[in-house]
Amino acid sequence: MEGNSSFNSSNSYPTQNWVDADCGCGLRDPVRTSHSYANPGRRFQGCVNYQEPMGCRFFKWVDPQTCPKGLVYGRHLLNKIGQMEKRHEDFKRLLEVAEMNKEKLMKKIDKLSRMNEETHEWEWDEVVPTMKCNGSVMYT
């Protein structure tokens, strides 16, 4: 049987593979992939109620144990993923700060623009009466 799972934890992500329930809960047990340090990339089947306080404790590995070289490679990938997730969070925070600074700057620009308009109106009112025109040339 195939379907979608809503299960999500820090150590595993669902796949679209379902295996008939072996746990006795009567629910379908999704096949998930471990993202733990001990078993990176290894698929397992576990009851969807596994993390519930009174939940079922059914669990079994679908894949054989990973070879030592595979563990090194898998752990390296997990470390890289962790670094990328941290950088992603750092960039999100930087973007938030930039957006806040942008809003502050836009308010300052608006305020300065209004002040500039008021100043130009005042200056123009003062300058116009003192200007004389001789044809196309203006002088004071």
> Which one, of 48, 74, 46, lies nearest residue 59 by Cα?
46
DSSP codes joined into one string, 24-64: SSSS-EEEEEE-SSSSTT-EEEE-TTTTSTT----EEESSP
Q: Which residues contact 25 (CB under 8 A, 6 or more apart)?
A: 47, 48, 49, 56, 58
Q: Which residue has the tokens 């070289």?
A: 69
Rounded-to-integer distance, Cα 72 and Cα 124, Å: 76
State the average pLDDT over residues 16-43. 78
Report residue 72: phi and psi, to 5°.
Answer: -60, -45
SS3 3: coil
Question: Mean per-residue pLDDT for 118-132?
Answer: 60
Strands of the sheet containing 12-19, edge to edge, are: 12-19, 29-34, 43-46, 59-61
pLDDT tens column, 72-121 = 999 999 999 999 999 999 999 999 999 999 999 999 999 988 888 877 66
> If you average pLDDT over residues 117-133, what whole number do you get?
61
Residues 42-67: pLDDT tens digits?
Answer: 998 888 877 777 778 888 899 999 99
